[in-house]
Amino acid sequence: MMIKCVLWFIISVFQFVTLVKISVAVGNLPLAPALYVFGDSLFDNGNNNLLPTVAKADFLPYGVNFATGVTGRFTNGRTVADFIAESLGLPYPPPYISVRLSTGHAGFNYASGSCGILPQTGSRYGKCLNLEEQIDLFERTVEPDLLARRLRNSNGLAKYFLSKSIFIFAIGSNDFLNNYLNRPNTFASTTRNNGDPAAQSFAQNLVDSLAHQLERLYRLGARKVIMFEIGPIGCIPSIIKKSNNEKGKCVEEINELASYFNQRLGLMLKNLTSSRQGSTFVLGQANWLGYDAINNPSKYGLKDSSNPCCTTWRNGTSSCIPWLMPCSEASSHYFWDAYHMTEAVCSVIANRCFNDSSVCSPSIYQLLQF
């Protein structure tokens, strides 16, 4: 009986590897078995629709350029995660909360708008899924959903399936925007001072907390992980318009907060890769790319890199006002609302990470060869 099980496992693995090689050759099968998505509103594609929170995007003009209309994505069309799914030849991972018993398992999306790495981040807006809760849901996916439904209770094949899957993260900006900067007098003091020890300590706490969750993910079977940096949050309309900075100029003191996190993030991911056998934790260097697109928009086919495309609440500092018509050329704008990128910018980041090792090293395409 044991010999039969071993033979069945070897045959199954051989069949899977053969399918992957064929997919590369003929382009009609996915390049990875699944894509798992974690993060905040940059990646949320509908989880918040079913949560008691005001942080929602389940109304027009959100989704105005998406193929199926409004979904809960916090942009006009596709997100970075959607473009990566397309490049992998996979369907868009569905929001876990709404379809977690879906058949044809090819990944799920656990991202949740307004939430962050720390459990208290975003709580003033209602319920969202913090990073620990997202990893909890992934664990529920693996045990028993993945093993029982997709892989016939074969633990060895499940591990192989997960080791070849891609895991992507975009999280951390809300921990500054909806947590650290909301503390009394913090925003004012941050825009006046550089090198704040409290901010550096906060950033280290975030990275330590993130590392703990990534280690959990590794123990659950993940081996190919891309974690995107926090973007240039000092350049978003919400921050610029709330500051007394020169019109249209990024608030570099706020960008410095992101740098405290990003510098520590890169080192942490390198340490995980070297200490966790068989793993690759990739730093998605989206910060410089986003900053360059904001300051040199014409290089990326953009015309406006400072104003939201949609009409927002609070004089351009918040989310889109429901049902109002957005700008006529969203593809020429960097920002969709006061926080989020347009589909056009998401496409640039995703494509560069997939193919360009100066943004993601190794690139996702290179990572697929491991």
Active site residue 105: no
- The tokens describing 268, both together, are 């942490």
Q: Which of 40, 44, 82, 337 is catalytic?
A: 337
Q: Which of 40, 41, 87, 114 is catalytic?
A: 41
Distance, CA of 141 to CA of 217 (rounded, Å) = 12
Query: Are the beta carbons of 115 and 47 closer than 8 angstroms?
Result: no
- The tokens describing 361, both together, are 């090293």
Distance, CA of 211 to CA of 36 (rounded, Å) = 18
User: Which of 131, 111, 128, 132 is CA-nearest to residue 52?
Assistant: 128
User: Which of 118, 150, 143 is CA-nearest to residue 34?
Assistant: 150
- The tokens describing 184, both together, are 């009394």
Active site residue 41: yes
Query: Are the beta carbons of 117 and 206 closer than 8 angstroms?
Result: yes
Active site residue 340: yes
Q: What is the 3-state secondary structure (H, E, C) of the chain?
A: CHHHHHHHHHHHHHHHHHHHHHHHHHCCCCCCCCEEEEECCCCCCCHHHHCCECCCCCCCCCCCCCCCCCCCCCCCCCCHHHHHHHHHCCCCCCEHHHHCCCCCCCCCECCCCCCCCCCCCCHHHECCCCHHHHHHHHHHHHHHHHHHHHCCCCHHHHHHHHHHCEEEEECCHHHHHCCHHHCCCHHHHHCCCCCCHHHHHHHHHHHHHHHHHHHHHHHCCCCEEEEECCCCHHHCHHHHHHCCCCCCCCCHHHHHHHHHHHHHHHHHHHHHHHHCCCCEEEEECHHHHHHHHHHCHHHHCCCECCCCCCCEHHHHCCCECCCCCCCCCHHHECECCCCCECHHHHHHHHHHHHHCCCCECCCHHHHCCC
What are the backbone dihedrals phi and psi of residue 3, each rounded to the nearest 5 degrees, phi first?
-65, -40
Q: Which of 44, 279, 340, 347 is catalytic?
A: 340
Active site members: 41, 337, 340
